[in-house]
A and B are shown apart, each in its own frame.
Chain A
Amino acid sequence: MNIHTYEKFWLIGAMVLIVAFIATVTYGAAGLGIAMVDDEGGTIAPDEIGDHDKFGDPGVHQVGENEYDVYVHAYTFGYSPDTIEIPENSEVTFYVTSSDVTHSFTVVGTNVNTMVIPGEIAEITAQFDEPEEYGILCNEYCGFGHHDMEAELHVVPETEFDLTELAVDAPDEVDTDDQAQVTASVTNGMLEDLDTTVTLEIGNETVEEDVTVAGDSSEDVTFAVDASTLGDGDHDWTVTVDDYTESDQLTVGTDDDGDSDDGDTTEEE
């Protein structure tokens, strides 16, 4: 077959280009460590997501000194959690799945971009060094609310980052001569111990207690509040640990209309 010399040059040139393209991509993979999302993430049926150990309560977990796992549940039309906070200088692995249709999990302005297919778990790891706020969007059409589907990723300075949670258990009412127990449960999701102070403000009083919560565990701090020092009436209270607060109201005094300790609702004298 007759191939003109010039076309032979071009044939060689074309092959050089093809090989160069493959080589560049291979360099990115083998040389720079860029990896494709693949089948390592495993599978999960959509109706198992709610009961799942991690996807059932999606969020950030620390799994190593600067390593974090983030479980994300994508759905029509949003992400849970809708704000993901991670510290600077961390290696983050996202596990993303969908309970309904195919979405994407795409961090805008980065190469963190994956399909999220119901039945599959997409597992991708990336290194986040600088503090930054990123948007997350869905770029795979998923229905009428597709364009409203967004979330945020905040990379915060290390000093601002914690995995602390606060839950408070307190009664709504207490009798005048009784004591109210206000229990603050402080959970520390980091691997390192958390040394902090729990503060209760109620009425005019402020009570503090220092507490050390070990890594990946929880401590309860209970404040005993004398109702008599507060007096009858409604009292707002606030429990604070670091930047987390819980507030509510405590009502002191017997209830005139309801049952009292005396058991007798009518006043005869």
Chain B
Amino acid sequence: MSSATEQTEADTSHEIGHDEYDPIGTLTLIGLYFVVLVLMWFYTYFIEFLGNDPTVIGSVVTAGGIV
């Protein structure tokens, strides 16, 4: 499509080009998300899942066990 930059809305904005742009806010948010994911994963796996035993531990091969 043809290029189109700023639109009709009243703008007090200035342009930030590719080289000047430093997405430090994104890095902050995504770093926070990373920490949340690690904590939530540990909690869900080690406390909720492993704490919910008995858990299935495998099929035991016994003489009468296989049909």
Contacts and interface: CB of A to CB of B under 8 A. Distances in A.
Direct touching of A and B (C-beta under 8 Å): yes
Interface of A: 4, 6, 9-10, 13, 17, 20-21, 24, 28, 32-38, 40-42, 44, 52, 54, 61, 63-64, 67, 69, 91, 93, 95, 107, 109-114, 121, 123-129
A69 B65 contact: yes
Contact of A125 (B26, B31, B45, B58): B58
A93 B66 CA distance: 11
Contacts of A6: 23-24, 26-27
A13 B41 contact: no
A114 B23 CA distance: 46
A74 to B, nearest CB: 16
A91 B54 CA distance: 10
B56 A124 contact: yes
Given A6-B24, A10-B30, A41-B67, A111 B56 contact: yes
Contacts of A28: 45, 49-50
Interface string B1-42: 000000000000000000000011011001100100110010
B65 A63 contact: yes
A35 B57 contact: yes
B54 A126 contact: yes
27 contacts: A6-B23, A6-B27, A13-B31, A17-B34, A17-B38, A24-B45, A32-B55, A33-B58, A34-B57, A41-B59, A44-B67, A52-B67, A63-B62, A63-B63, A69-B65, A93-B59, A107-B54, A110-B52, A111-B53, A111-B56, A123-B59, A125-B60, A126-B54, A126-B56, A126-B57, A127-B54, A127-B57
Contacts of B34: 10, 13, 17
Given A13-B34, A17-B38, A110-B52, A33 B67 contact: no
Interface of B: 23-24, 26-27, 30-31, 34, 37-38, 41, 45, 49-50, 52-60, 62-67
A35 B59 contact: yes
A40 B59 contact: yes
Contacts of A41: 59, 67
A41 to B, nearest CB: 7
Contacts of B26: 6
Given A9-B27, A63-B65, A67-B62, A109 B52 contact: yes
Contacts of A109: 52
Contacts of B67: 41-42, 44, 52, 54, 95, 121
A23 to B, nearest CB: 11
A93 B65 contact: yes
A220 to B, nearest CB: 25
B54 A111 contact: yes
